[in-house]
A = this chain, B = another copy of it.
């Protein structure tokens, strides 16, 4: 049986859970490497992937006999089939963070389960710790992102629009082995940069602009995430000060990242330093990165977790002056036992384009 299925079966068993219904497609991808819509059932003895006729062929191309997964079509199942799946299970787990309330009720009804129990993000938690293969994909995604940034420094010219630059980034990703972007690319120039979640517009790059570029790609299913803020022609002294404050804090956090570091403490460091300079940290300091570009753990002062080795997280402090400008610097970082490895390696020195 595939080793991730063995892992989850053992873990459930230790909690007296005899079966599980897995609906989150990202979790299904993680466990059995399948991208199709469907539901994965771990019954007492079998692993069953129920999907649509549309996907049967492509699913069978991916799975091997060693996966020990029975593939079946929704169309071929009777009411009795559903009722029989978990007949001898005392407790059956479900994904309370993914399944809607309506689906929860439908599951209860369809499978006639005695106890449908919450599994507290068991798969999502495991996904936070990456294995060597996953790390190699994230590394590659970060490498493509760095290459793209180097390219941009030569590509970006005054008069280009934010949209044009965002498109160029997406094309670069695809032409360099990525399957696409890991989230809609942000290119925010001038006053638009004051919005942490700006959407690229037709605004043209001009002299004196700050440009915040937040981008990431997907390589073999795994994401990267990096932000750099650059200047055009010159940087105002007051902006430089803010840039330095953001960069200093970003680097302090990186130097503190290791197994056992407390996510709340890390955020508090930045919040405190910003506060002393009359600024606020208005968003989370970072988040996990993997099959999803935003996954656990969240690095924020509202959420106390200890980092573990082989987690991949972002570190992305930012300061935003409404209506004026914003500065954010972000890396994707691999947590080691004793230190942090920065996977996105693009320079964070001031960069002034001409």
Residues of A within 8 A of B (CB): 35-36, 52-55, 57-58, 94, 96-102, 104-105, 118, 163, 167, 170-171, 174, 180, 184, 194-199, 280, 282-283, 320, 322-323
Contact = CB atoms under 8 A, between A and B. Distances in A.
A57 B194 contact: yes
A174 B165 CA distance: 12
A118 B102 CA distance: 9
A103 B301 CA distance: 21
A211 to B, nearest CB: 18
A280 B57 CA distance: 15
A55 to B, nearest CB: 6
A322 B35 CA distance: 18
A68 B305 CA distance: 40
Given A163-B174, A171-B167, A197 B101 contact: no
Given A52-B283, A57-B194, A102-B118, 19 more contacts: A35-B199, A52-B282, A53-B280, A54-B195, A54-B197, A54-B283, A57-B320, A57-B322, A57-B323, A58-B197, A58-B198, A96-B101, A96-B102, A99-B100, A101-B101, A101-B104, A104-B104, A163-B174, A170-B170
A99 B102 CA distance: 8
Nearest to A163: B174
A57 B171 contact: no
Nearest to A116: B101
Contacts of A194: 57
Contacts of A94: 101
A323 B58 CA distance: 10
A23 to B, nearest CB: 11
A57 B101 CA distance: 32
A88 to B, nearest CB: 24
A57 B195 contact: yes
B118 A282 contact: no
A178 to B, nearest CB: 11
A235 B187 CA distance: 46
A5 to B, nearest CB: 24
A20 to B, nearest CB: 14
Given A163-B174, A167-B174, A171-B171, A197 B100 contact: no
Contacts of A101: 94, 96, 99-101, 104, 118
Most buried by B among A52, A55, A99, A197: A197
A203 to B, nearest CB: 14
B282 A54 contact: yes
A12 to B, nearest CB: 18
Contact of A36 (B52, B197, B280, B322): B197
Contacts of A171: 167, 171
